[in-house]
Homo-oligomer: A and B are copies of this chain.
Amino acid sequence: MRIAQVAPLAESVPPKLYGGTERVVSWLTEELVRQGHDVTLFASGDSETAATLVPAVPQGLRLAGVRDHTASILVMLNDVLRRAGEFDIIHFHIDLLQFPLFQHLFHKCVTTLHGRLDLPDVHPIYRAFPEMPLVSISGSQRGPMPLNVNWLATIDHGLPASLLPFKAGGGNYLAFLGRIAPEKRPDRAIEIAKRAQIPLKIAAKVDPADQEYFERVIEPLLDHPLIEFVGEIGDEKKDEFLGNALALLFPIDWPEPFGLVMIEAMSTGTPVIAWRSGSVPEIIDEGVTGFLVESIEDAVRATRQVRGLDRLAVRSRFEARFTVAKMASEYLHAYERLLVTLEYRHPLAKSAHGTRSIPSEVLPSLPSLPLLPSLTPIVGESVRHPSQRSYPHEAVIDDV
């Protein structure tokens, strides 16, 4: 299959420092190449990949000092559009700029939504272009979205099985890994450790935006024999940091759409104690890979229960659910569903009424298009059923 991966331009793929989306795009891209597919990656020029790299900008825009990425992304999207005929599937990892431009090509497009979807600012684009095939990264992520969008699948993130190897050791500290940010609730982690009388190691960065929160709320809590603020750690230290922990604390306070750090911990065999928020109930298997909690007391109790969990069982669940091989396999199934099914309601086919269609001066000449694929509902998923139609060119545009 000829596949285009369209990445954000904030960071290189993979990122030089942080960048959850760019890490996932990198893992997926490299795995698809490894499996023999013809992959073209549209990303920043300092990306590193075995795929064909099409550099949209010379360097990841954040480190290049560019604040507004819109112009660069639009130029990249126009390049993708110009070359659309070279690909069987165009897979976007950005949230919204591609919708109007690719409205003629939704039959071969997929957009994975990587962020939270509850802020109303972005909903107009999904209401206006409900036909774009979407992939969510958790079931809970979908909740706030308009009801008639076109969910193709929910696909868990996955990382390479060998990236964070299993560590058998018991571990005698609780781990907190990530950013010192209010919604991640490092203060809860500190409280849990103190009440459970177990050491806590905090490996986290403090962004400029979070400096005030760190100084005002967290720093005062660090002065305690059980609490150790390790600061930022590089990727090469993650395996040791997570693998030697008793458990990862994930006491979040917001609708996390996935939470990569949870599967990173599980990869090393370390179980997770996490607040029941966002995606967490879908990621953690209660009593196997960790515990879901709703209070400090729950969490303290869980720190005692967690010693009874089998670290090998944690690793096994990771291998079953959260490897990049699994993620790539699910994406390939999703791509195939798009390409092989028979009927598709083309959103812009000129209807007999014609009042809502794009004027002919800008539309492609539709009679020459082949019958376009449609979306077979996935068993158990609630999706819109494309109406049965003999004449695809008489499709009516959704009333948005």
Interface of A, helix, strand, loop or mixed by DSSP: loop
CA distance A120 to B125 in the complex (A): 27
Find out whether the CB atom of A77 lies under 8 angstroms from the CB atom of B104: no
CA distance A105 to B358 in the complex (A): 13
Find out whether the CB atom of A363 lies under 8 angstroms from the CB atom of B361: no
Cβ of A379 under 8 Å from chain B: no
Cβ of A218 under 8 Å from chain B: no
Binds B, one of A39-47, A68-76, A297-305, A308-316: A68-76
Cβ of A85 under 8 Å from chain B: yes
Encoded as 1 (CB less than 8 Å from any B CB) or 0, chain A from 382 to 397 comes to 0000000000000000
CA distance A259 to B27 in the complex (A): 50
CA distance A119 to B119 in the complex (A): 28
CA distance A310 to B120 in the complex (A): 54
Contacts A104-B361, A362-B105, A364-B361; A122 near B84 (Cβ below 8 A): no
Contacts A121-B71, A364-B364; A100 near B128 (Cβ below 8 A): no
With beta carbons under 8 angstroms apart, the residue of B57, B128, B356, B360 that contacts A364 is B360
Please name all residues of chain B whose beta carbon is closer than 8 Å to the beta carbon of A122 when the two chains form the complex: 68, 70-71
Find out whether the CB atom of A84 lies under 8 angstroms from the CB atom of B361: yes
> In the assembly, how many copies of this chain are there?
2
Find out whether the CB atom of A362 lies under 8 angstroms from the CB atom of B70: no
CA distance A338 to B70 in the complex (A): 28
Encoded as 1 (CB less than 8 Å from any B CB) or 0, chain A from 125 to 162 comes to 10111000000000000000000000000000000000
With beta carbons under 8 angstroms apart, the residue of B66, B78, B101, B124 that contacts A121 is B66
Find out whether the CB atom of B75 lies under 8 angstroms from the CB atom of A125: yes
With beta carbons under 8 angstroms apart, the residue of B72, B74, B124 that contacts A75 is B124
Find out whether the CB atom of B104 lies under 8 angstroms from the CB atom of A81: no
With beta carbons under 8 angstroms apart, the residue of B74, B75, B78, B125 that contacts A71 is B125
Find out whether the CB atom of A70 lies under 8 angstroms from the CB atom of B97: yes
Cβ of A209 under 8 Å from chain B: no
Closest CB-CB distance, A218 to chain B, in whole Å?
Answer: 24
Cβ of A369 under 8 Å from chain B: yes
With beta carbons under 8 angstroms apart, the residue of B71, B72, B124, B364 that contacts A362 is B364
Please name all residues of chain B whose beta carbon is closer than 8 Å to the beta carbon of A369 when the two chains form the complex: 361
Please name all residues of chain B whose beta carbon is closer than 8 Å to the beta carbon of A363 when the two chains form the complex: 364
Cβ of A67 under 8 Å from chain B: yes
Given A67-B121, A74-B97, 13 other A-B contacts at CB below 8 A? A57-B124, A66-B120, A66-B121, A71-B123, A74-B125, A74-B128, A78-B100, A82-B357, A84-B361, A97-B97, A100-B101, A361-B369, A364-B365
> What are 8 sample pairs from A and B whose C-beta atoms fall under 8 A apart?
A70-B125, A74-B100, A74-B125, A84-B361, A84-B362, A104-B361, A360-B365, A362-B364
